[in-house]
Chains A and B, each alone.
Chain A
Amino acid sequence: MNRRQFLLNTGVLTAGLTGAGVLPAWARAEEDAYFAGFRAGLKQHRWLAAFAGVAADLDAGPVAFDGRLPRDLRGVLHRNGPALFERAGQRYHHWFDGDGMVQAYAFTDRGLTHRGRFVRTRKFKSEEAAGRFLHPGFGTTAKVKVPITGPDAVNPANTNVLVHAGRLLALCEAGSAHEMNLETMATVGTVTWRDDLKGMPFSAHPKLEPDGTLWNFGAFNNHIALYQIGADGKLDKAEVIKAPDVAMCHDFVVSQRHLVFVLPPMRMNIEKLRAGSSFVDAIDILKDAPMRVLTVEKGDFSRRKMYELPPGFVFHFGNAWEDKDGLIRFDYVRSDPGADVMTATMRALMRGDVAGMGDPGNSLSTQVVIDPARGTIRQESFKEDVEFPRVDPRFVARRNRQLFHTAGISNGGNDSDSKFGLNAVLRYDLDSGKSDRYVFPREYSLEEHIPIPRPGSTREGDGWLVGCAFNARTGKTEVNVFDAQRLAEGPLATAKLPYAIPLGFHGHFTAA
């Protein structure tokens, strides 16, 4: 059934929708500052509706495109993100806690169709049955204690999604990949790459080389697992290495010869956890310590080197490659030390406090050059506030000259009614340093946008940039298609969905 939406964003009285008035006494007692604060914030900032969440799977379409959908852009864009934030009067205290919903946007001759399916994780199924949250999240402590037997007991599968070897994989940093049926989107279960790797973290940011080789890692408690998976979907190699002061690691990057990590020093403070603090609050971030850069040779995981960068923080990387002199070049989005966006901003957002949102200039695309022979490293940053770097998928682990971002660029005036940080798409030309950009009107908040190659073309960046934007004025989600080489001209085609889809994190396009 279409439009089974339970959104809090279309002008309906928000408290009524979640049934706050008819909740049993124990549930009302669980209502907290986040639940009430979010509703208060929503009255002032309509864009917060993009973080209200949904309670059930979604279906819509086909929706006709405004403008013209390019004839050779056909396929499915899968995306993932936290989408369920409230049960029984309790609201999560962190954006990252929401249950993952995989979105499938199909670009067809008849327009755009959309399907959203919650990943039926162990956590989701048990909480759906109980009608309330049972497990702690990254930033929320649980009021009801159930055994946490390992990462997959609390895995929300909410961060990325990938199609590899015919399998749809929903990914989250700290636990196993969840396989979903590519056609029906029904959850199959967790993926065990090999018996001795069962239940181990398989990060949300694998890197897929053009030949189909998939590289990934998983970080846990000062260890990093490394995975090499063939184009056939079978594990070729896996190993666990020690990595001191790695309480978490979100992303990495792959060159022709190396896996490259940037590791801000963080320690999991077990005593804080035992005393009842949430995981994000139990991470001690060593703000003044350098970030360590770890390179691992693809062909021999025991061949590793460490370099140091000034203190900072990182979530995401674009690409890496080696030049003919053996210099390793890569980019990452550098932010100030301390990870305030993770420890404070994403938390405040959930209680409707937007004070820290949209502060410009904190997350900069940063280009790094490592000289392994000399043991040196240097970096230089662009000036724009950006996130979610992506490159043309045909240029992963080889030289890229273009880098795509979602960006936060002032569109003039007071941003208070549209303050979610990301409102623009941007392409850097890494040779010239120039950028091509499109800044959306004030009412839009953006997700990651993904470059899609034009079939038959081999030229880097030739194709489209595709992604979702939440329109705070209509309270609904729109899907935009740009000419990837002419972002400034604005979208070629826009499909307006009949509902809001919670802003998500990352995705993957599969050509038809």
Chain B
Amino acid sequence: MHTTPCFRLPRRVALRTAVSALLIIAGPALANELTIEIQGITEAKGSVYVALYDKADTWMKKAVKAQGTVATTGKTVIVFKDLPEGEYAFSAFHDIDGDRKMARNAMGMPTEPWGFSKDAMGMFGPPSFDEAKVKVPAGGTTTVMTLKS
């Protein structure tokens, strides 16, 4: 007799960008780094991908950068280098099966661990850009997030 909440991410998690971004060579030398410590990695299998957004308009639609790293049990770190100062939000997921897509069940619910910057949570959808945004000042910053499953 229960109806439960469930979270639905948009279909595109900017994975293509994520993969190609791995090949991007650093542009102009800017010192601002966003260091993301990703916690809650349940198994050392597959990769962890992060897609970075810089404004509400393009949030969860078009990432400015994306990056992936090999999953290690517990936590891993991803660093976005050479960012202009400003506000950013990101989404992340653990690609356990290695298909470079966030797995979903037949009703569209995520079945691989996922999360957002500041551990922001939405309801029947992603959180807003404002809820998830992190300030990257001159000199950079570090933020911690936990993947959820």
Contact = CB atoms under 8 A, between A and B. Distances in A.
Interface of A: 96, 136-138, 145, 147-151, 153-156, 159, 172-175, 195-201, 204, 220-221, 223, 225, 238-240, 247-248, 250, 268, 270, 273-274, 279-280, 283, 315, 342
B120 to A, nearest CB: 10
Interface in B104-145: 105-107, 109-111, 114, 119, 121, 123-125
A247 B7 contact: no
Given A220-B109, A221-B6, 16 more contacts: A138-B3, A138-B4, A148-B4, A148-B121, A150-B6, A151-B109, A153-B4, A173-B2, A175-B4, A198-B111, A200-B109, A240-B106, A250-B1, A273-B123, A279-B3, A283-B3
Interface in B40-73: none
A201 B125 CA distance: 18
Given A136-B5, A173-B1, A174-B2, A197 B123 contact: no
B22 to A, nearest CB: 27
Give the interface SS of chain B, mostly helix, strand, loop or mixed.
loop
B6 A148 contact: yes
Contacts of B5: 136, 148, 154, 273, 279
A220 B107 contact: yes
Contacts of A196: 105-106
B148 interface: yes
B1 A150 contact: no
A274 B4 CA distance: 13
A30 B5 CA distance: 23
Contacts of A279: 2-5
A274 B123 contact: yes
B118 to A, nearest CB: 12
Contacts of A197: 105-106
Contacts of B20: none
Contacts of B106: 196-197, 200, 225, 238-240
A149 B105 CA distance: 13
Contacts of B123: 148, 270, 273-274
Contacts of A151: 4, 6, 109
Given A199-B105, A200-B106, A147 B148 contact: yes
Given A147-B121, A147-B148, A248 B3 contact: yes
Given A147-B119, A196-B105, A196-B106, A270 B3 contact: no
A137 B4 CA distance: 8
Interface residues of B, number: 21
A96 B6 contact: no
A145 B120 CA distance: 11
A279 B2 CA distance: 8
B2 A150 contact: no
8 contacts: A149-B114, A150-B7, A150-B109, A174-B2, A175-B2, A221-B107, A225-B106, A238-B106
A381 B4 CA distance: 32
Contacts of B7: 148-150
Contact of A273 (B2, B107, B111, B124): B124
Contacts of B4: 138, 148, 150-151, 153-155, 174-175, 279
Given A149-B149, A221-B6, A270-B124, A96 B1 contact: yes
Interface in B1-56: 1-7
B107 A172 contact: no
B111 A199 contact: yes
A48 B87 CA distance: 55
A150 B6 CA distance: 4
Contacts of B3: 138, 173-174, 220, 247-248, 268, 279-280, 283
A239 B105 CA distance: 11
Given A150-B109, A270-B124, A220 B6 contact: yes
Interface string B87-114: 0000000000000000001110111001
A223 B110 CA distance: 16
A172 B149 contact: no
A199 B4 CA distance: 12
Nearest to B122: A274
The listed residue with most A CB atoms (<10 A of its CB), out of B4, B105, B123, B148, is B4
Please name the 4 residue pairs, one residue from A and one from B, whose CB atoms are nearest each other, closest first: A174-B4, A174-B2, A151-B4, A248-B3
A149 B107 contact: no
